[in-house]
Amino acid sequence: MSVCQPVQIVTAHSVTDGAGVHLHRAIGTPHLEDLDPFLLLDEFRNDDPAQYIAGFPDHPHRGIETVTYMLAGAMRHGDNQGNAGRLGPGDVQWMTAGRGIVHSEMPEQEKGLLWGFQLWVNLAADRKMSAPRYQEIKAADIPVVTRGDVIVKVIAGALDGVSGAIHGIDVDPTYFDVALPDGAAFVHELPAGHAAFAYVFEGATETGGGDGASRVGRGHLAVLGSGDQVRLRAKGGAARVLVVAGRPLREPIVRYGPFVMNTREQIVQAIDDFRAGRFT
Ligand code: FE
Query: Which residues span the domain enclosing 59?
Result: 6-275
pLDDT of the residue at 202: 98
Residue 59 within any structural domain of the chain: yes
Residue 166 within any structural domain of the chain: yes
Is 142 in contact with 155 (CB distance < 8 Å)? yes
Residue 164 within any structural domain of the chain: yes
CATH of the domain at 100: 2.60.120.10
Indicate the length of the chain as a whole number: 280
Q: Give 165 Cα–ligand 1 centroid separation in angstroms.
A: 21
Q: What is the pLDDT of residues 203-228, one digit of tens each?
A: 999 999 999 999 999 999 999 999 99
Residue 71 within any structural domain of the chain: yes
**What's the mean pLDDT in 247-264?**
98
Is 246 in contact with 195 (CB distance < 8 Å)? yes
Q: What is the pLDDT of residues 223-254, one digit of tens each?
A: 999 999 999 999 999 999 999 999 999 999 99
- ∠ CA 148-218-145, nearest 5°, is 25
Q: How buried is 125 (Cβ within 10 angstroms: 0-12 exposed, 13-18 middle, 19+ buried)?
A: middle
Q: Give 60 Cα–ligand 1 centroid separation in angstroms.
A: 7
Q: Give 236 Cα–ligand 1 centroid separation in angstroms.
A: 36
Q: Give 195 Cα–ligand 1 centroid separation in angstroms.
A: 24
Q: Give 227 Cα–ligand 1 centroid separation in angstroms.
A: 33
Q: Which of 112, 109, 115 is nearest to 45 (CA)?
A: 115
pLDDT of the residue at 1: 83
Q: Give 177 Cα–ligand 1 centroid separation in angstroms.
A: 22
Q: Give 250 Cα–ligand 1 centroid separation in angstroms.
A: 24
Q: Give 151 Cα–ligand 1 centroid separation in angstroms.
A: 29
Stated as kind and residue range, the H or E segment containing 9 is: strand 6-11
**What's the mean pLDDT in 58-82?**
96
Whole-model pTM: value is 0.97
Across all residues in the chain, what is the average pLDDT? 97
Q: What is the pLDDT of residues 148-195, one digit of tens each?
A: 999 999 999 999 999 999 999 999 999 999 999 999 999 999 999 999
**What's the mean pLDDT in 52-75?**
97
Q: Give 225 Cα–ligand 1 centroid separation in angstroms.
A: 29
Residue 1 within any structural domain of the chain: no
**What's the mean pLDDT in 263-276?**
97
Residue 280 within any structural domain of the chain: no
pLDDT of the residue at 104: 97
pLDDT of the residue at 214: 97
Q: Give 61 Cα–ligand 1 centroid separation in angstroms.
A: 7
CA distance 137 to 91: 6
Strand-strand pairing, 195-202 and 239-246: antiparallel
Q: Give 178 Cα–ligand 1 centroid separation in angstroms.
A: 25
Stated as kind and residue range, the H or E segment containing 272 is: helix 264-275
- DSSP SS3 for 74: coil
Q: How many domains does the chain have?
A: 1
Q: Give 174 Cα–ligand 1 centroid separation in angstroms.
A: 21
Q: Give 65 Cα–ligand 1 centroid separation in angstroms.
A: 9
- How would residue 66 be classed by pLDDT, with cut points 50, 70 and 90? very high
Residue 148 within any structural domain of the chain: yes
- pLDDT for 280 beyond 90: no
Q: What is the pLDDT of residues 85-99, one digit of tens each?
A: 999 999 999 999 999
